[in-house]
Amino acid sequence: MEDEGVVLLGFWSSPYVMRVKIALEEKGIQFLYKEEENIFLSKSPLLLQANPIYMKVPVLIHNGKPICESLNILEYIDEVWKDKFTILPHHPYEKAKSRFWIHFFDKMIFDIGRRMWASKGEDQEAAKLEFLKSLKLLEEELGDKPYFGGDQFGLLDIALIPFSCRFYTYEMFCKFSVEKSCPKFMKWVNKCNERGSVSKALPNPHEVYDFVLEVKKMLGIE
Asked whether 173 and 117 are in contact (CB, 8 A), the reply is yes
Q: Is 123 helix (H, G, I), strand (E, B) or coil?
A: helix
Query: What is the model's pLDDT at position 4?
Result: 59
pLDDT tens digits for range 98-109: 999 999 999 999
Q: Contact, 202 vs 162, CB < 8 A? A: yes
Which among 145, 146, 8 has a CA at the least distance from the CA of 77?
A: 8
User: What's the pLDDT score for residue 34?
Assistant: 97
The SS3 call for residue 197 is helix
Confidence label for 39 from pLDDT (cuts 50, 70 and 90): confident
pLDDT at 84 (0 to 100): 79
- Over 80: is that where the pLDDT of 2 sits? no
Give CA–CA dist 138/126, Å, rounded.
Answer: 19
Residue pLDDT, tens place only, 112-169: 999 999 999 999 999 999 999 999 999 999 999 999 999 999 999 999 999 999 999 9
Q: How many residues does the chain have?
A: 222
Residue 31 has pLDDT above 50, yes or no: yes
